[in-house]
Amino acid sequence: MSLFWIRLVGALAVFAGVNYVGWRWVASLNWEAWWIAVPLILAETYSLIDVTLFALTMWRLKDRGEPPPTPPGLTVDVFITTYNEPIDLVMETALAAKAIGYPHTTWVLDDGSRPELRGLAEENGVGYVSRGAEWAGMPRHAKAGNLNNALHETQGEFLLILDADQIPDPRILDRTLGYFTARKVALVQTPQWFFNVPEKDPLGSQAPLFYGPIQQGKDGWNAAFFCGSNAILRREALMQLGLVGYVRETHARVVKALEAGRGVVRRALRRAEAQADGAGELLRVVDRALRAGRDQLGSGASVAAVTFLVQNQVEAAVKSLVAADVQALAADLAEIEALERELNGTPDDRLAEVAPIDAAVERLSARDWSPLGALESVQAVLDSVTVERRGEAQPIMPLSTISVTEDMSTSMRLHAMGWRSVYHHEILAKGLAPEDLKTMLTQRLRWAQGTIQVMLRESPLRLPGLSLGQRLMYFATMWSYLAGFAAVVYLAAPAVFFVLGILPVQSLSSDFFARFVPFMALNQLLFILAARGAATWRGQQYSLALFPTWIKACTTAAANVWFGRPLGFAVTPKARQEGGDALLILRPQAVVAAILVLAGAVGAARLLAGQAEPLGTLVNMVWMAYDLLALSVLVGAARYKGFEQQRGTE
C-alpha cells in the first residue's frame, strides 16, 4: 500500500477525531451525569491522542529493503543471556549461535552461575561469563546487570544479543552488519518471532503490527528502539553511553552533595556564632568553598578538579578546628592540674576550697564543643563529595538500569547522544512464546512496568538531545500502556445506560453520528492500511481485555518510582506452567463480562417495557457486543493447552 494513502487516511482520521472530540467537549456533555460523562470524554480524548501518535508513526514508515553489503573483518561477540532457563534449551541456542556464518565469538552469560552449564559451554567451545565477587551484596540489575558485566569481560566491536530461547539464523550477522558502515549507527533491531504459536495465536504472542509497521514507522523518525533480543549493537556506542552516564550521574551527585553540605555547615555555623574561638570563621571558609565548588561545576569545570579543590579546603579547615580544640583541651587540663597541686599543698581545714576543682571539671564537661560538632559536620561533607560509585559493583553501566526492562531506556539514551538506529524487517531468529495464560500475563506485566518506569524516571518529553519526532515516538509506546484506565470507562458506560438509562451525551443526534462514525471508520481503515495484510485484530482485543494488567503495571511502577516499593523481576518461563485457576486469574474480566451480560438483559427488558430509548439501546447493544467480543479472546487463552499438546492432537 502506497505511503501516500496511509498519510492521507491518517491525516483524515486525526482531523475527524479532533472534530468529534472537540464537539464532544464543547456541545454534547451530559453534565447532569458528569460522573460518567466526564470520564468518557477523557477516555475518548486519550484515544484521540493515541490515534494521532499512531498516524505520526505511520507518516514516515520506512521499508529498507535489502541491507548493505557486509564488511569483512569486524569482531563480533554473540551474547546469550540466561538465568534459570533449562540448560538444554540454552545450549541449543548457544550451538546455533556458534554456527552463525560470520566470524564471531559466542558467549553464554549465565546469571545463575551453574557449574553444569559452564562445563557444557567449555566442552562445546562456547565462552562462559558469570558475575564475579564484586557483585556480592550489590544491586544486580537483572538482565541489564548481566550484560553490563559481560561488556567488561569481552572485546568485540559489535554485540549480537539473544535471549536464551532465540535460535538465530546462520545469516543473521551477514544480513545486519552492513548497516554499521554508517558511522553513527549504534543499533540494528530485527523482529521477534515465535515458532510455538498456532495460527490463531490465542495468547497474542506474535506482534505483527509492532514488529512491522510500528517499528518501521519509528525507524523513519530515527526512533526504532532496542527490544532486548535479536539486536546488534555497537560496543563503542554503549561504552560511550556508560561513560557519559557515569559523568552525568557523578556531576549530579556532587552538586547535590555540595548543596547538602552547605546546609549542614550553615546549621553548624549558627551554633558557633556565639563562640569567639575562630570556629565560626572556619565554618564560613568551608561554606564559601562549597559554594564556589557548586558554581564552578555550573560553569563547566571538571568534577575531579572541583572535588579536589573543595576537599583540600575542607581538610585544611578540619585541621584548624582540631588544632583549636586540642589547644582548648590542653588549657583546661592545665587548669585542673594547677588546682590539684594547690589542693595537695593546702592544710586540711582549707579542704572546702576543693570547690574550684569541681567547678573546673564542671566547666570542662559543660563546655559547648561547637568546633568538634562542626568537625563532624564538615567530615560528613568531605565524605559526601566523592566521585566514587560505592553502591554499585562496577562504576560504568553502559546499559540502562533504571527499569526492569533495560532495552527502551538504553536506546532512548543512545538516540539522545546522537546515535542512530535501524529496524531491519526480516525474521532472523525464532524463539519461544509463553504457552499458558499465567506466563503470558507475567510477561506483559513486566514489559508494561518497565516502560512506565522509564516514562516516570526519564521521560522522553524532557530528555535532552532527542528530536521532537523521537520524543513523540518513544512517548507513543509509553502512552499506549495507559489504555487500561480508558478501557474501564469503555466497559462501564454501556452497563450504566442499560441499568440507569443515562447517556453520557446529551442526545444521540445526527450531529453525534455525523462526527463519531467517520472518526471510527477512518481509524479502522488506518489500521488496515498500515498493517498491509497482517492480522491486527488479536492485538486490538488484548489492548482492551488486559485492562487489569495495564492498570496494575501503572500503579506498581508508580509506587516503585515514587515510593521505592520493589517490583521484583521474574524471568519468563520457557515451558508451560501447570496450575493456576484461569477463572481466578481472569476474575476482573469475568466480573466485567457478567455485569455487561446482566446489564444487557436489564436493558432489553426496559426496552420491551417502553422504559428505554430505542436508539440509545441499539447503540449500547452494539457497544456491549464489541466489548464482549474483545473480552472473548481470554476464553481461548484460558483453554489453550500449549503448542506441543495441540500439535499432538492434530
Judge contact between 29 and 506, C-beta under 8 A.
yes
Longest dimension (CA), the chain: 120
Distance CA 127, CA 48 (A): 50
What sign for the dihedral angle of Cα 466, 469, 474, 480? Answer: positive
The predicted pLDDT at position 648 comes to 37
Distance CA 515, CA 519 (A): 7
List, in order, residues 6 or more apart from 268 with CB less than 8 Å away. 283, 370, 373, 374, 377, 378
The 10s digit of each residue's pLDDT in 191-245 is 999 999 998 999 999 999 999 999 999 999 999 999 999 999 999 999 999 988 8
Distance CA 258, CA 289 (A): 9
Judge contact between 483 and 540, C-beta under 8 A.
no
The 10s digit of each residue's pLDDT in 599-633 is 999 999 999 999 999 999 999 999 999 999 999 99
Distance CA 35, CA 270 (A): 55
Q: Where are the alpha helices (DSSP H) in 388-509?
A: 406-416, 437-457, 468-480, 483-500
Distance CA 495, CA 627 (A): 11
The 10s digit of each residue's pLDDT in 380-437 is 655 555 666 778 889 899 999 988 888 999 999 999 999 999 999 999 999 999 999 9
Query: Average pLDDT, stretch 556-574?
Result: 81
Distance CA 286, CA 3 (A): 65
Distance CA 187, CA 221 (A): 14
* Residues facing residue 420 across a β-bridge: 185
List, in order, residues 6 or more apart from 325 with CB less than 8 Å away. 369, 371, 372, 375
Residue 23 DSSP label: H
The C-alpha angle 642, 646, 647, rounded to 5 degrees, equals 120
Question: Predicted confidence band at 346 (pLDDT cuts at 50, 70, 90)?
Answer: low
Residue 98 DSSP label: H
- Average pLDDT of the residues of the chain: 87
Strands, sheet with 193-194, edge to edge from the N-terminal-most edge strand: 167-168, 429-431, 193-194
For 469-502, letters b (16+ CB in 10 Å) and e give: bbbbbbbbbbbbbbbbebbbbbbbbbbbbbeeeb
Residue 505 DSSP label: B
Query: Average pLDDT, stretch 430-451?
Result: 94
Query: Average pLDDT, stretch 167-194?
Result: 98
Number of CB atoms found within 10 A of residue 350's CB: 10
Judge contact between 125 and 98, C-beta under 8 A.
yes
Distance CA 43, CA 514 (A): 20
**Residue 63 reports pLDDT greater than 90:** yes
Segments making up each domain of the chain, as ranges: 3-58+478-649, 76-243+395-466, 245-384
Query: Average pLDDT, stretch 562-591?
Result: 77
How far from each other are the two terminal CA atoms of the chain, in whole angstroms?
36
Judge contact between 505 and 623, C-beta under 8 A.
no
Question: Which grid cell is 3?
Answer: 505511503
Q: For domain 76-243+395-466, which architecture applies?
A: Alpha-Beta Complex (3.90)
